[in-house]
């Protein structure tokens, strides 16, 4: 049974701190600025041998005019609908505010199990606080301190007790005993990453506005359609270091870098109108450095093509020259908003995933590569040295790594290394996959 527990409450009551406490790591951004969490953030927790999912939500505000606040409210309502148990978090130091009363009214109507949790009880004196939390309409509340963990054990015991009562309908077993490939959608801010996720799911799962940088955390979504089962990861936009204005943007960028580390294939989205910029190149090299599969997705192509005479071939050729020798990266042209071309993304991602796992037999590799080395031997750094490559093999690693044995490996130039990579790519199927090449003494 995969139970879902959502944490809801107004801004700055400690929802993300409690979320991090329950999942056991700093997955959600915590900051003194209120309203940092905007989308739903998912994590996994375990207590007394029972596993369940935790959902962190944005802060519920009574403001009715702000576009972003309305979207955040919609996200909270979706989280409530998805949940088996809701942790309604309030702040003992500020007491009950209008937003708390409004949230309580919504939760009492939702027909879900709601646990009222009073946070920031960091000192014994706060236990005897004169605020009457029963005014919110719940028969009991739990006093905790999310920041130091006091009281969370009793709260978790209550959750497990609820789970064991088996009051809920059986949930579809999604991630049990099976690992799904992770496809991370990365890129600069406002290129359409969240829009692409929403188009895949045919619903507004993630907040999308014209405001740059709306997504601030990495968000995991399970996707299943036909033969494709995977985790799609939406990430914050990666800005230049000089454009990062505050700590929140810095943490968001770091979160994206961490997401790349755990991805199998990265979908690098580029705004067709902005073109391939230096920051796109930096992100591309970061993926390559982490040895992840990569697909370049040119979004908003419909808008760009109406105003420009560039063909897809022209656009593609320009990018391939920039990323050489890693030239055989799939480049797809789409409109995430109109869903044009998005059906090609997952088949290509799975093809890149297979290429990443491709293993060449040693005899075939030598049969192809040794005649190439004989015809085009390395030009030595020192004139009196004659370099030969006598043998090569692919290492038994998770990503493609090749070792070439030579009499003078230390004198082989970096340019020859790129030449070898180019030849491997032209003869074998490593589409969208970084290759590592090593020269060793025979």
- The domains of the chain are located at 3-164, 182-356, 362-441
Tokens of 328: 């055989």
- pLDDT reported for residue 69: 65
Residue 340 is classified by DSSP as B
- pLDDT reported for residue 260: 80
| Domain 362-441: assigned CATH number | 3.30.300.20
Edge-to-edge strands, sheet with 331-333 = 219-225, 228-234, 182-187, 265-271, 293-299, 331-333
Q: pLDDT by residue for the chain (442 residues), tens digit each?
A: 567 888 998 888 988 899 988 887 655 444 444 444 445 577 788 888 888 888 888 777 665 666 656 666 777 777 787 788 999 999 998 889 988 998 898 888 888 899 999 999 887 666 666 678 888 988 889 999 999 989 999 999 999 988 887 554 444 443 443 478 889 888 888 888 888 988 888 865 544 444 444 444 456 778 887 778 888 887 765 555 444 344 434 344 455 666 787 789 999 999 999 889 888 888 898 888 889 999 999 999 988 888 888 889 999 999 999 998 888 899 999 999 999 999 999 999 999 999 988 899 999 999 999 999 999 988 876 666 788 899 999 998 888 999 999 988 888 888 899 899 999 999 998 999 999 999 998 7
CATH superfamily of 182-356: P-loop containing nucleotide triphosphate hydrolases (3.40.50.300)
- pLDDT reported for residue 56: 84
Angle at 194 between CA 68 and CA 67, to 5 degrees: 10
Contacts of 258 (CB under 8 A, 6+ apart): 218
Contact 107, 86 (CB under 8 A): yes
> For the purposes of burial, counting CB atoms within 10 Å of the CB of 426, is it exposed (0-12), middle (13-18) or buried (19 or more)?
exposed
Tokens of 282: 């930096």
What is the rounded CA–CA span in Å between residue 265 and residue 433? 9
DSSP 227-266: TEEEEEEE------GGG--SHHHHHHHHHHHHHHHH-SEE
Neighbours of 355 (CB within 10 A): 19
Neighbours of 289 (CB within 10 A): 10
439 phi/psi in degrees, rounded to 5:
-110, 130
Contacts of 174 (CB under 8 A, 6+ apart): 2, 222
Domains 3-164 and 182-356 share a fold: yes
Instruction: Please state the pTM of the whole predicted model.
Output: 0.58
- Give the three-class secondary structure for 153: helix
Contacts of 419 (CB under 8 A, 6+ apart): 325, 376
What is the rounded CA–CA span in Å between residue 233 and residue 23? 18
Contact 171, 315 (CB under 8 A): no
What is the rounded CA–CA span in Å between residue 399 and residue 291? 7
Contact 3, 52 (CB under 8 A): yes
Instruction: Let me know if domain 3-164 sits in CATH 3.40.50.300.
Output: yes
Contact 223, 193 (CB under 8 A): no
Residue 128 is classified by DSSP as G
Residue 383 is classified by DSSP as T
What is the rounded CA–CA span in Å between residue 125 and residue 120? 11
- pLDDT reported for residue 224: 82
| Prior bond of 325 cis (ω within 30°) | yes
What is the rounded CA–CA span in Å between residue 353 and residue 340? 23
């Amino acid at each position: 049974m995969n139970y879902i527990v959502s944490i809801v409450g107004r801004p700055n009551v400690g929802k993300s701190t409690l979320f991090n406490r329950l999942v056991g790591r700093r997955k959600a951004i915590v900051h003194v600025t209120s309203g940092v969490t905007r989308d739903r953030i998912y994590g996994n927790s375990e207590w007394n041998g029972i596993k369940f999912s935790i959902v962190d939500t944005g802060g519920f505000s009574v403001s009715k005019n702000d576009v972003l606040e309305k979207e955040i409210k919609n996200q909270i309502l979706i989280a409530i609908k998805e949940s088996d148990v809701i942790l309604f978090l309030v702040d003992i130091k500020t007491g009950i505010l209008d937003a708390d009363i409004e949230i309580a009214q919504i939760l009492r109507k939702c027909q879900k199990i709601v646990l009222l949790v009073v946070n920031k009880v960091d000192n014994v004196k706060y236990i005897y606080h004169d605020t009457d939390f029963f005014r919110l309409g719940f028969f009991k509340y739990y006093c905790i301190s999310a920041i130091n963990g006091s009281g969370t054990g009793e709260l978790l015991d209550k959750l497990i007790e609820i789970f064991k009562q088996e009051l809920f309908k059986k949930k579809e077993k999604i991630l049990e005993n099976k690992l799904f490939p992770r496809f991370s959608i990365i890129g600069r801010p406002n290129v359409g990453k969240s829009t692409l996720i929403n188009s895949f799911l045919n619903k507004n799962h993630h907040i999308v506005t014209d405001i740059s940088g709306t997504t601030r955390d990495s968000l995991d979504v399970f996707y299943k359609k036909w033969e494709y089962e995977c985790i799609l990861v939406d990430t914050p936009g990666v800005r230049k270091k000089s454009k990062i204005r505050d700590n929140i943007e810095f943490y968001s960028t770091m979160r994206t870098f961490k997401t790349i580390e755990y991805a199998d294939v990265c979908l690098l989205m580029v705004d067709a109108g902005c073109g391939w910029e230096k920051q796109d190149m930096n992100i591309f090299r970061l993926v390559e450095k982490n040895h992840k599969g990569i697909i370049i997705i040119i979004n908003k192509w419909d808008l760009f093509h109406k105003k420009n005479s560039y063909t897809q071939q022209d656009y593609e050729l320009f990018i391939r020259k920039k990323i050489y020798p890693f030239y055989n990266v799939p480049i797809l042209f789409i409109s995430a908003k109109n869903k044009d071309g998005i059906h090609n993304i997952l088949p290509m991602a799975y093809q890149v995933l297979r290429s990443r796992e491709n293993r060449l037999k040693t005899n075939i590799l030598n049969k192809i590569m040794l005649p190439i080395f004989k015809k085009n031997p390395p030009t030595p750094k020192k004139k009196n040295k004659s370099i030969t490559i006598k043998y090569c093999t692919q290492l038994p690693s998770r990503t493609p790594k090749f070792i070439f044995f030579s009499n003078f490996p230390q004198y082989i130039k970096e340019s020859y290394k790129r030449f070898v990579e180019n030849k491997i790519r032209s003869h074998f199927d490593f589409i969208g996959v970084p290759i590592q090449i090593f020269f060793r003494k025979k």
